[in-house]
A and B are shown apart, each in its own frame.
Chain A
Amino acid sequence: MQEMAHDLALMWPEIVLLLTAVASLVCEMLRRPRAGFVVVLAGLLLASVLSVPLLGHDSSVFDGTYRVNALSVWAKLVLLPATLLAALLARGELAASPREGTVYSLLCFSTFGALILAGSGDTMLLVLGLLLSGLAGFALVAWPRDARATEAAMKFLIYASVCGAVMIFGLSYWFGITGTTLLGALGGLQQAPYAAALGLVGVLVGLGYKASLVPFHFWAPDAYEGAPVSVAAYLSVVPKIGALFALAQVVTELPESSGWQGILALVAAVTMTVAYLAALVQENVVRLLAYSSVAQAGYFLLAVIALTASTLALPALVVFAAAYSAMNLGAFAIVTQAGTSREELRGLGRRRLWTGVAMSTFLFSLTGIPPLAGFAAKFLLFGASIEAGYLWLAVIGIINSVLSLAVYLRIIVPMYRPVGEAGGSTPTGGKFATIVWLVGFLATLLIGVLAQGILQQLQY
């Protein structure tokens, strides 16, 4: 009983999040979307605050199945505020439309799934987290209920079902060898490298689809394009980071002999390159950002690969997660205001000085240009990668950074063109989106300079 109380005390953020999700659903039933929105904001804020005292913990709860360690706590500290920003975006984009309140509730449920993923200490929790964040995700994508959104959600659903099934199949190998579902027991795979690798491939399919790694990324651009922009913003950040942190929880337990580093390095290299090449030909800004978010998942892998070999890797992963959330949500926030085609962005930077400056900042940060957040993160990533002996991967990452500049300039260049005959769009989306990109802008500027805080906490 005492143990139970101890366990629950470490779970306060999750408990609050779950209660928030339920409460906002109740508000929606009472036809009070505004109240639901306020509840979600307050709940997410409270959950974020409650996560802070957990910093420095390195333990697990419920017999080792759920971990409270640096990865899972930082996941809360990044994903809960990110969900809050996504809720603000959704409010700006969808306010006063019917069923508005369900969005807030679904966001919370999906984040709950992402947090479970990020804290998994057990393969069954991986499955649970994947399903939970997935189910809420399909509903979010299908939310507009038009043909495009329905098609997008359908594609998402089928992808998710197949990939999830493959993952469970792969996990069965691990269970068969080790006799337990605990991740902590994966060291027992030492003698069975093939079974270890087969299981890993399964996990990579399941988590890889969620994190949209190539070649499991095909759903992402279609789903993002069909969904409301705020949902696309959310999907590109929260479930993705949850899945990548889950991958980190898994691979650090795997024996070297399974070759996980090599497999992940290959996936990382292919992901970055293919995604940026595909992004080069996109005309729709949401699709372009979707491919960009696929490529960035590849960069995340650089840190995951180095986790066991470099002390820089964990800080790199956390700083990149924070930086990526800030700059990606910020960029999407401006898209909700300005429009989704490159033509609509034309002249935006000339008409709205600060919107243009912020958008350029997000895109340069995504490229990794100093002194912005993305640079600080990528610098740590490359450092970790080299220290772990993956110089070639760092080189590929760097070459892709140049490619990514060409991609992001496809948005920046039209922003500073004179306004054409089309006249460009007048920014809409209101003050909520402005709040989001302002927060993202400040975070993008400051994370680069203040990364010390995170580094110190991780006791590097």
Chain B
Amino acid sequence: MFPLVSLSLFMPLLGAAVILAMPRARAPMVHALGIGTATLTLAGTLWMWVRGVQADGFSQVEQIDWMPAIGASYRVGVDGISLPLVLLTAALFLLTLIYSVRVRERPHAYVVLMLLLETASLGVFLALDALLFYVFFEVSLVSMYFLIAGWGHEDRQRAALMFFLYTLLGSLPLLLAILAFYLGAEVSTFDMRAWIAQPPLSGSAAMWALAAMLFTFAVKTPVFPFHTWLPAAHVQAPAAGSVVLAGVMLKFGTYGLIRFALQMTPEAMRAAAWVVMVVGVLSALYGAFVALAQTDLKRLVAYTSVNHMGYIIVGVAAAALAADPALRTLALDGSVLQMVSHGLVTGALFFLVGSLQERANTREMERFGGLLQQVPRLGWFFILAAFASLGLPGLAHFPAEFQIFLATLGVAPAAAVVVLGIVVTAGLYLRAIGKVFLGPLPAQWERMPDLGTRELLVLTPLTLLIVALGVAPAWVLQVIHRTTSTLSF
């Protein structure tokens, strides 16, 4: 069989190697190579999408022995939960690389790190071997660290250091949990499929493993009170870095929550689901309220991420609690779809904030006003993305959040208080739009140029996807649904 999955996975790495082999290449050439590689990768993942997933278990599995002595293999494959995220990753990286063609400072290193990060991110979603998963999980940290430290804003060294230390501390408990699974399994293997089919741990061991994993994924997602690294990293990261961080890397947390916590320790997760639910609700509300207090536009978007990721946590907790399979499927459908929508919407918002910062060298909302007259394209794109972010029907977040709330109402009506978050986000976005884009235009911004071709090339497809996902979510949902409806735990 044609190794399509592995080829797509390592295509960015191959591109990175080619760029490294051409140290004398000029910046446009380097960017062109980067974009070409990302396009090929996207083509590969689109083909994977066409191939589709089967209803039960994983599809398109490719496997090679790696360390048979300890049961570790190179195993990759997709199911309905990972495939949409793989596609999202490939698409966002391509757009990010297009957006970044303006980077003139050490372009070789920048594009190579981006491509390395793409392989790592795809690997997290594709890996079916726990050891391999962990490898990709950590490699993504290293590349992101260098991206923030090398190309970030004013206070980047501190932010990068904090990001690296915090998330490394976060991910090491997962290593313990993986080791516990490995030592607990009857057959010594790191095959995630085997662990899912037959959870290796039970009783208090499973509870400890779950606690370790919840910590890891809570830091990664991030969930209140483990979110403090996020605003710092986002504000200091370059625009492209923020897009990848929010659009792709935050999903590692919620994807891991479903793949590891829910599927490998189902009993413990069911028992602890109330805690997870409460944390999710708190996190969603906290994120919304703190975002309300921000004056820095980028911090505002960063905190709304905490809010949106909180909904996903609530959805996963609802799925764990639900006794009725229909409700469980509904909750999981919503959660996975929310990951995709959040990737698209937050991606668009961070691109736009980046463009605004490029033009104005500030992100303080107070200093803007009336920009809609001066830069109408930027303004309308922002307004659309903001409406999508606050959950307006017809845009990407609505179908996802609707399903999550519906399932939550069915399982734990009290948790429906989380809907309050939507009201707050609506308020804060309307306020932000009012401050930045409406009202009188300050004289200093009278020469601000509108979005150029490069930015339009990035934002148009993204906005189309946001609308497409809002109007007709079925094309993604049917893939997700095929897997979520057959999950047995």
The interface of chain A, by Cβ under 8 A from chain B, is: 312, 315, 350, 353, 364, 369-371, 375, 379-380, 382-383, 386-387, 391, 394-395, 398-399, 401-402, 405-406, 409, 413, 416, 449, 451-452, 455-456, 460
Cα of A386 to Cα of B168 in the assembled complex, Å = 20
CB distance from B145 to the nearest CB of A (A): 9
Which one of A370, A382, A455 lies within 8 Å of B70 (CB-CB)?
A455
A-B CB pair tally, cutoff 8 Å? 76
Contact of B131 with A by CB under 8 A: yes
Decide: B168 and A402 in contact? CB cutoff 8 A: yes
The answer to whether B7 has its CB under 8 Å from any CB of chain A is no
Q: Which residues of B are found within 8 Å of A379, using beta-carbon distances? A: 131, 175, 179
**B362-374 vs A, Cβ < 8 Å mask (1 yes, 0 no):** 0000000000000
**Are B68 and A382 neighbours in the complex by a CB distance under 8 Å?**
no
Could you tell me the dominant secondary structure of chain B's interface residues? Answer: helix
Contacts of A364 in B (CB 8 A): 142
Q: Besides A370-B138, A402-B169, A452-B67, 9 other CB < 8 A contacts? A: A369-B138, A370-B135, A370-B139, A371-B139, A395-B176, A398-B173, A398-B176, A413-B149, A456-B69
Within 110-153 of B, Cβ neighbours of A (below 8 Å) are at 131, 134-135, 138-139, 141-142, 146, 149-150
A109→B379 CA distance, assembly (Å):
75
> B464: CB under 8 A from chain A?
no
Nearest CB of chain B from residue A335's CB, rounded to whole Å: 21
Task: Please name 19 pairs of A and B residues whose Cβ atoms are closer than 8 Å in the assembled complex, sorted by A.
Answer: A315-B69, A369-B139, A369-B168, A370-B135, A370-B138, A371-B135, A382-B175, A382-B179, A383-B182, A395-B176, A398-B173, A399-B169, A402-B168, A405-B168, A416-B149, A449-B66, A451-B67, A452-B66, A455-B69
Are A386 and B176 neighbours in the complex by a CB distance under 8 Å?
yes
B180 within 8 A of partner (CB): yes
B172 within 8 A of A: yes
List chain B residues, Cβ under 8 A from A353. 23, 109
Please indicate the chain B residues that have their CB under 8 angstroms from the CB of A449 in the complex.
66
Taking residues whose C-beta sits less than 8 angstroms from the other chain, chain B's interface range is 20 to 34
A386 touches B179 (CB 8 A): yes
Q: Among residues 163 to 183 in chain B, which have CB atoms less than 8 Å away from a CB atom of chain A?
A: 164-165, 168-169, 172-173, 175-176, 179-180, 182-183
User: Which residues on B are within 8 Å of A, measured CB to CB?
Assistant: 23, 66-70, 106, 109, 131, 134-135, 138-139, 141-142, 146, 149-150, 157, 161, 164-165, 168-169, 172-173, 175-176, 179-180, 182-183
Does A386 lie within 8 Å of B183, measured CB to CB?
yes
| Measured CA separation A350–B169 after assembly (Å) | 28
A402 touches B165 (CB 8 A): yes
Query: Can you name the residue of chain A whose Cβ is closest to the Cβ of B167?
Result: A402
Q: How far is the CB of B150 from chain A (nearest CB, A)?
A: 7
Contact residues in A for B70 (Cβ distance below 8 Å): 312, 380, 455, 460
Given A353-B23, A371-B135, A386-B183, residue A455 in contact with residue B176 (CB < 8 A): no
Q: How far is the CA of A217 from the CA of B179 in the complex (A)?
A: 31
Q: Which 10 A-B pairs have the closest CB atoms?
A: A455-B69, A370-B135, A398-B172, A452-B67, A402-B169, A371-B135, A370-B138, A383-B179, A460-B69, A456-B69
Question: In the bound complex, what is the Cα–Cα distance between A460 and B69 (angstroms)?
Answer: 6
Name which residue of chain A comes closest to B146, CB basis: A416
Among B67, B139, B161, B172, the residue within 8 A (CB) of A401 is B172
Measured in the bound complex, the distance between the Cα atoms of B65 and A456 in whole Å is: 13
CB distance from B274 to the nearest CB of A (A): 26
Q: Are A409 and B164 in contact (CB under 8 A)?
A: yes
Complex Cα gap A399–B69 (Å):
28
Evaluate contact between B69 and A452: CB separation under 8 angstroms: yes
Closest to A367 in B: B168
Q: Which residues of A contact B69 (CB under 8 A)?
A: 315, 452, 455-456, 460
Q: Which residues of A contact B180 (CB under 8 A)?
A: 386
Residues of A within 8 A of B134 (CB): 370
**What residues on A are CB-neighbors of B106 within 8 Å?**
350
Minimum C-beta distance from B296 to chain A (A): 26
In the assembly, what is the distance between CA of A151 and CA of B180, in Å? 48
Indicate whether A369 sits within 8 Å of B67 (C-beta atoms), given known contacts A382-B179, A401-B172, A402-B165. Answer: no
Residues in chain B near residue A455, CB distance under 8 A = 67, 69-70
Contact of A402 among B149, B172, B176, B183 (CB under 8 A): B172
Nearest residue (CB) in A for B208 is A391
Residue of A nearest to B135 (CB): A370
Report the minimal beta-carbon distance from B226 to chain A, rounded to whole angstroms. 14
Is B176 a contact of A394 with CB atoms below 8 Å?
Answer: yes
Contact of B165 (CB < 8 Å), options: A312, A371, A394, A405: A405
- Report B-chain residues with C-beta under 8 Å of the C-beta of A391: 176
Pick the contact of B183: A387, A452, A460 (CB < 8 A).
A387
B149 cross-chain contacts in A, Cβ below 8 A: 413, 416
CA distance A387 to B179 in the complex (A): 9
> CA of A398 to CA of B109 in the docked complex: distance in angstroms?
30
CB proximity of B74 to chain A, nearest CB, Å: 10
Q: A353 vs B168: C-alpha distance in the bound complex, in angstroms?
A: 25
What chain B residues lie within 8 Å of A394 (beta carbons)?
176, 179
Q: How far is the CA of A379 from the CA of B150 in the complex (A)?
A: 30
How far does the alpha carbon of A452 sit from the alpha carbon of B69 in the complex, in Å?
7
Which residues of chain A are near B164, meaning CB under 8 Å?
Answer: 405, 409
Known A398-B172, A452-B68: A383·B183 in contact at CB below 8 Å: yes
When C-beta atoms are compared, the residue in chain B nearest to A376 turns out to be B67
In Å, the complex CA distance between A312 and B159 comes to: 38
Kindly state the separation between the CA atoms of A371 and B74 in the bound complex, as whole angstroms.
13
Specify which of B66, B157, B182 is in contact with A413 (CB 8 Å cutoff).
Answer: B157
User: Are the CB atoms of A416 and B150 closer together than 8 Å?
Assistant: yes
Q: How far is the CB of A391 from chain B (nearest CB, A)?
A: 8
**Distance in angstroms between the alpha carbons of A183 and B146 in the assembled complex:** 51
- CB proximity of A414 to chain B, nearest CB, Å: 10
Given contacts A413-B149, A416-B149, A456-B69, contact A382 B176 (CB under 8 A): yes
A406 touches B165 (CB 8 A): yes
Q: Which of B68, B69, B139, B183 has the most CB of A within 10 A?
A: B69
Of all chain A residues, which has the CB nearest B170? A402
Residue among B139, B164, B175, B182 facing the most chain A CB atoms (10 A cut-off): B175
